[in-house]
Amino acid sequence: MAATLLACVAATLAGCGDDDAVSTATAVAPADLLLRPAQLPSGFATTQLTVSDLVDSDRAQLVAAHADTVMPQECRATADTAFTEKVSASNSAVLAASAADVGLVELVSTVRRDIDDDIRTRTGQCRRTETTVAAGSLAGATVTTESTTLPDPPEVANSPGGLSVERAFLSRSDVSTTLPDSTVRKQVGYVGYALVKRPGGSVFTVSLTVNGPGGRAQNPPADAVEPMSSSAFVDLFGTALKAAAR
């Protein structure tokens, strides 16, 4: 799952001239709004990941996926590409953590993410998609993704610390990858996005992803291992929103 970032300068955004960048009235920086290590779920420990590393990884994945065939065709996502193009270490901050084979990444950025596009490509007729991989080690594989919309955490409505949530979307993905030899591997992942407005008017994108282990490809396939329960992810995203309000 690609996670994307920002495009103007964290503490000095005013006058940068980009319609997607949000003018910030205060000197708060994205790094100040990340989850703290003590707020991570039990068993998780922080790992080393820079914004540049994340952007490079996301861009490589997006380039590789460009030739893939997505069905229905109108379900091809665009939010990741638009967001990643604007992200840099000067306007975003990242926190990475892991527990066994589970990976967690939180990104806070001053670039607005197109959350409406995320909703469009994970709901309705796009709730179930099939992607045929065109190149790379998975060339010829078919990836079936079933998306389930999760409820907003209470923090979306409660406005902790005066924080106003303009838009939020949380989703679970159940992914099944069928390889050319007919073996299958399954994986479960979660993603949450929110546009949050802090007292004073500054707006940040909060992005949180948690991915479970991919498992071994076999036939019949083994059940996917949940990285955490859906309710636990919703609670964690609520904690991330509270962190963005401090």
Per-residue pLDDT, 27: 65
Whether 74 has a pLDDT exceeding 80, the answer reads: yes
The span from the CA of 181 to the CA of 142, in Å, is: 11
In a domain, 9, yes or no: no
- What mean pLDDT comes out for the span 170-184? 98
Whether 129 has a pLDDT exceeding 50, the answer reads: yes
174: tokens are 């159940």
Per-residue pLDDT, 24: 38
DSSP 218: B
In a domain, 178, yes or no: yes
Burial class (CB in 10 A: 0-12, 13-18, 19+), 192: buried
- Model confidence at 42, pLDDT cuts 50, 70, 90, reads very high
Mean per-residue pLDDT of the chain: 88
Whether 193 has a pLDDT exceeding 70, the answer reads: yes
The answer to whether 116 and 51 have CB atoms below 8 angstroms apart is: no
- What mean pLDDT comes out for the span 114-142? 96
- Model confidence at 192, pLDDT cuts 50, 70, 90, reads very high
The answer to whether 108 and 91 have CB atoms below 8 angstroms apart is: no
The span from the CA of 231 to the CA of 225, in Å, is: 15
Three-class DSSP category at 73:
helix
pTM over 0.75: yes
Helix (H) or strand (E) holding 168: strand 164-178
Whether 26 has a pLDDT exceeding 70, the answer reads: no
The span from the CA of 30 to the CA of 111, in Å, is: 11
**CA-closest candidate to residue 87, choices 126, 119, 58, 129:** 58
Whether 6 has a pLDDT exceeding 70, the answer reads: no
Whether 14 has a pLDDT exceeding 70, the answer reads: no
Domain that holds residue 119: 30-244
Helix (H) or strand (E) holding 196: strand 184-197
In a domain, 7, yes or no: no
The answer to whether 20 and 112 have CB atoms below 8 angstroms apart is: yes
- What mean pLDDT comes out for the span 107-135? 97
Per-residue pLDDT, 88: 95
Compute CA distances 206 → 178, 180, 183, whole Å. 32, 37, 36
DSSP per position, 64-103 = HHTT-EEESGGG---HHHHHHTT--TTTEEEEEEEETTEE
- What mean pLDDT comes out for the span 33-62? 95
In a domain, 16, yes or no: no
In a domain, 8, yes or no: no
- What mean pLDDT comes out for the span 222-230? 96
Number of independent structural domains in the chain: 1
Q: In 86-154, which ranges are continuous DSSP H helix? A: 115-120
In a domain, 21, yes or no: no
- Model confidence at 201, pLDDT cuts 50, 70, 90, reads confident
In a domain, 229, yes or no: yes
